[in-house]
Amino acid sequence: MDKLDLSLVSPLNVVPDIGVKRGEKLARIGFRTVLDLLYFFPFRYEDRRAVQSIRQLVPGVPAGFVARIRQIRKKNIRNLRVPLVEADLEDDSGMVRAVWFGQEYLLKTLPPETVAFFFGKPEVSPYDGLLTVRSPVVEKMESEKKGQKSFHVNRIVPVYHEEQGLSSSFFRKIIGTILASLWGNTFDPIPSAILASCQIMGWFPALVEMHFPKNLPKGADTDLLLMPEYPPRKRFVFEELFFLEFLMGYKKREIQSIPRVHARTLPPDGMSRFERGLPFQLTKAQRRAMGEIESDFARPVPMNRLLLGDVGSGKTLVAAWGVFLSASSGLQSAFMAPTEILAKQHFITLKGLLEPHGVSLALLTQSVRKTEKRDLMEAVHQGKIHLVVGTHALIQDALSFSSLGYIVVDEQHKFGVEQRKTLINKGDNPDVLVMTATPIPRSLALSYFGDLDISLLDERPAGRPPVRTEIISGGEEETFWDKRIGPVLERGEQVFVVYPLIEESEKEDLKDATSMHGVLSAKWPSAEIRLLTGKMTWEEKESTMESFRSGRTRLLVSTTVVEVGVDIPGATVMVVENAERFGLAQLHQLRGRVGRGSLPGMCFLVPGRQASSEALERLAILEQTDDGFVVAEEDLKIRGPGEFIGTRQSGLPAFRVANLVRDAETLLVARKLASDFIGLVPGNPAEHTWEWTTLMNFIQNRYPGVEDWLMIR
């Protein structure tokens, strides 16, 4: 065979047999270079080492064989509803018959002369004594050159997901061809010292084994090749995590090399002054996080920090501390929240905390009136306002600051990368604090926020008992409202009732917030019961929330608009209907809405009638623990990282072989090795080595567009 001269970045049209049409299809699935295809790993394998010739077939013994279609025809049999497809198959040693029931398309896909691989159990036909294989598995083989070892048989073969009508057999053949042309390649993107230190297989041998495994004992299950311990797979799991952590570490270091623009003067007695104004004592964790922010402010480079804490751990206060410090250096702050309700509430809280210290605040949301908005923006522009709290309205072009030094983004995952960037660009490399609504597992934090420093609030304010959680099922639903909720209302406490949807879904018979509002209002005519849905106008929502906050409204029936951080001290009970439709972290967030005052909180989860037993088991986790970090780990196991954190917004590639739950240990190893390799300061001599350049180039080829991600702060 002519030696094909391929490099890893060769475009796919230089690979023989791809052609224009298939090239276009490959491009549609995002495959442009040789490298892209090499990383398209099979999802399973088939052991075709013992391929037989037709003459070797034995009745009753399942076997695989390669044959040519000599003839294929449709047969209508009386008493048989579906037609039969019958084919005569031959190889150099003999002939055998194959029959399929009702698979007429085979007449088209397997015309005479087609060569294919068959697998099935031959039997002697009781009608005519001919050896017949019934309904064999068939795989049409991409034609191959004669005299060359086949990619399709006599080995363990990879099976690929078919995409855009491109068959597994097609992928097998071109990937095989590419590997053959790269034979003997000694390239490796990962520095050799790192490979050696964790005994990871080399790049090319690992690739070959991923696609065409050789080391499986005879008779062993091919699924062993899918295990993370399988050395080639282990290599790519490590590689994926190492690349990620390299990117994270590199980005973090680059951000930290941008000098701080705004000098800060930090008052020596700041923390005690701040604390004196509070009606309670700071928790140790709050004090620690506040100290971390303060020392970040004292550094010559801007802060980039994630504040991670359970629901109710007091994140708002910690964030407010940064505003306090900034204002005392004459710097402005912006605090962005995902919803109007939440922005309004933060505004009220922050006002209470900060105004006594002379901090001037403004609230900016879509619903602020035009003239008011104009005045407000002017005041911000002139530096008369220290803190602007708001929603996405903060990123509008018209808003400009005179000296924006500190930014807080609450529930950062609700904002896109671009939105955060736009806000950050309103300042000169400001300090940034991001917060999440619920705790996220460590493995996720390190991978998706690996470019940030992390402050952990692992403690909740003392004196607040945990929210008790109970699943209401098995007939208890009937008496639930009278027995459990009635007394709560009589005691004068307030109740949230949350629904997953706002409108009746005929198909799934979801109880719906609107109709339940009617039912409950009829049940307790003297109590004020209100409805809150996403479809209401801002004014309606606001007056409803205000009435609930003031205690006038006793029971609030709502869709998940309350999910995000609302703080109603008099609310003690949370009822979640169709609870199985929510994620665990979301439910944890919901139950965190109650028991925030002096009285203990209670959460009732009411699953729908169709809830599966798995769903109920999942909900039981919430009965067992009140620790948001434990809940988060469980949720990650169930839903995977994408769902959990909205990774589609992160701008980073999704994992192909690594799994953050399973491979958390490997992640830590990869992180350590990557950060050692990167070094602490830019200009690290390692950066000018061939190894560094190779790694960086490779990652950029592997993940096109990642440069953009690296640029976004």
Secondary structure of residue 116 in the 3-state scheme: strand
Q: How many helices (H) and strands (E) does the chain have?
A: 24, 22
Please count the residues of this chain forming the interface with Mg ion, following the rule CB under 5 A. 1
Partner whose binding site includes residue 314, from ligand ADP, Mg ion, none (CB under 5 to 8 Å by kind)? ligand ADP
Angle among Cα 178, 180, 181 to the nearest 5 degrees reads 65
Distance CA 465, CA 478 (A): 29
In the complex, what is the shortest distance from the CB of residue 591 to ligand ADP, in angstroms, rounded to a whole number? 12
Distance CA 380, CA 403 (A): 9
Query: DSSP 3-state helix, strand, coil percentages of the chain (rounded to 5)?
Result: 40, 20, 40
Distance CA 409, CA 338 (A): 9
In the complex, what is the shortest distance from the CB of residue 391 to ligand ADP, in angstroms, rounded to a whole number? 17
Smaller CB separation from ligand ADP, 235 or 596: 596
For residue 662, what are the contacts with CB-CB under 8 A and spacing of at least 6? 228
Distance CA 3, CA 123 (A): 45
* Whether 365 contacts 394, CB under 8 Å: no
Smaller CB separation from ligand ADP, 234 or 549: 549
In the complex, what is the shortest distance from the CB of residue 347 to ligand ADP, in angstroms, rounded to a whole number? 13
Partner whose binding site includes residue 283, from ligand ADP, Mg ion, none (CB under 5 to 8 Å by kind)? ligand ADP
Look at residues 312, 599, 628 and name the one whose alpha carbon lies nearest to residue 461: 312
* Whether 174 contacts 14, CB under 8 Å: no
In the complex, what is the shortest distance from the CB of residue 35 to ligand ADP, in angstroms, rounded to a whole number? 44
* Whether 510 contacts 500, CB under 8 Å: yes
Does residue 136 touch Mg ion according to CB under 5 A? Answer: no
Distance CA 372, CA 302 (A): 33
Between the alpha carbon of residue 257 and those of residues 34, 252, 297, 678, 680, the distances in Å are 36, 9, 15, 13, 10
Does residue 309 touch Mg ion according to CB under 5 A? Answer: no
Q: Which stretch binds Mg ion (CB under 5 A): 48-56, 440-448, 548-556, 560-568?
A: 560-568
In the complex, what is the shortest distance from the CB of residue 584 to Mg ion, in angstroms, rounded to a whole number? 18
Site string for ligand ADP, 310-329 (x = CB under 6 A): -xxxxxxx------------
Smaller CB separation from ligand ADP, 512 or 563: 563
| DSSP secondary structure code for residue 132 in this structure | E
Distance CA 706, CA 701 (A): 9
Does residue 280 touch ligand ADP according to CB under 6 A? Answer: yes
Distance CA 529, CA 387 (A): 35
In the complex, what is the shortest distance from the CB of residue 524 to ligand ADP, in angstroms, rounded to a whole number? 28
* Whether 636 contacts 628, CB under 8 Å: no
In the complex, what is the shortest distance from the CB of residue 366 to ligand ADP, in angstroms, rounded to a whole number? 23
Between the alpha carbon of residue 6 and those of residues 1, 37, 39, 210, 330, the distances in Å are 14, 13, 16, 20, 60
Smaller CB separation from ligand ADP, 243 or 644: 644
Q: Which stretch binds ligand ADP (CB under 6 A): 127-135, 139-147, 212-220, 279-287?
A: 279-287
Q: How far is CA 192 from the centre of its chain?
A: 31
Between the alpha carbon of residue 594 and those of residues 481, 547, 568, 571, 573, the distances in Å are 18, 17, 7, 5, 6
Site string for ligand ADP, 583-602 (x = CB under 6 A): -------------x------
Beta-sheet pairing, 84-91 with 94-101:
antiparallel
Partner whose binding site includes residue 309, from Mg ion, ligand ADP, none (CB under 5 to 8 Å by kind)? ligand ADP
In the complex, what is the shortest distance from the CB of residue 593 to ligand ADP, in angstroms, rounded to a whole number? 9
Q: Which stretch binds Mg ion (CB under 5 A): 76-84, 238-246, 561-569, 646-654?
A: 561-569
Smaller CB separation from ligand ADP, 120 or 309: 309
Smaller CB separation from ligand ADP, 381 or 464: 464
Please count the residues of this chain forming the interface with ligand ADP, following the rule CB under 6 A. 17
Does residue 314 touch Mg ion according to CB under 5 A? Answer: no
In the complex, what is the shortest distance from the CB of residue 445 to Mg ion, in angstroms, rounded to a whole number? 17
Smaller CB separation from ligand ADP, 242 or 274: 274
Which residues are registered as beta bridge partners of 623? none
| DSSP secondary structure code for residue 654 in this structure | P
Angle among Cα 86, 88, 89 to the nearest 5 degrees reads 125
In the complex, what is the shortest distance from the CB of residue 336 to Mg ion, in angstroms, rounded to a whole number? 13
Look at residues 388, 286, 247, 382 and name the one whose alpha carbon lies nearest to residue 703: 247
* Whether 526 contacts 472, CB under 8 Å: no
Does residue 461 touch ligand ADP according to CB under 6 A? Answer: yes
Distance CA 172, CA 34 (A): 13
Nearest residue to the partner ligand ADP, using Cβ: 314
Does residue 312 touch Mg ion according to CB under 5 A? Answer: no
Site for ligand ADP in 566-585 (CB under 6 A): 567
Does residue 42 touch ligand ADP according to CB under 6 A? Answer: no
Smaller CB separation from ligand ADP, 120 or 314: 314
Site for ligand ADP in 668-707 (CB under 6 A): none
Site for ligand ADP in 281-310 (CB under 6 A): 281-283, 286, 309
Smaller CB separation from ligand ADP, 253 or 287: 287
Partner whose binding site includes residue 338, from Mg ion, ligand ADP, none (CB under 5 to 8 Å by kind)? none
In the complex, what is the shortest distance from the CB of residue 259 to ligand ADP, in angstroms, rounded to a whole number? 32
In the complex, what is the shortest distance from the CB of residue 462 to ligand ADP, in angstroms, rounded to a whole number? 7
* Half-sphere exposure in the Cβ direction for 160 (13 Å, CA): 24
Q: Which of 64, 405, 500, 565 binds Mg ion (CB under 5 A)?
A: 565
Point out which residues bind ligand ADP (CB under 6 A): 280-283, 286, 309, 311-317, 461, 565, 567, 596
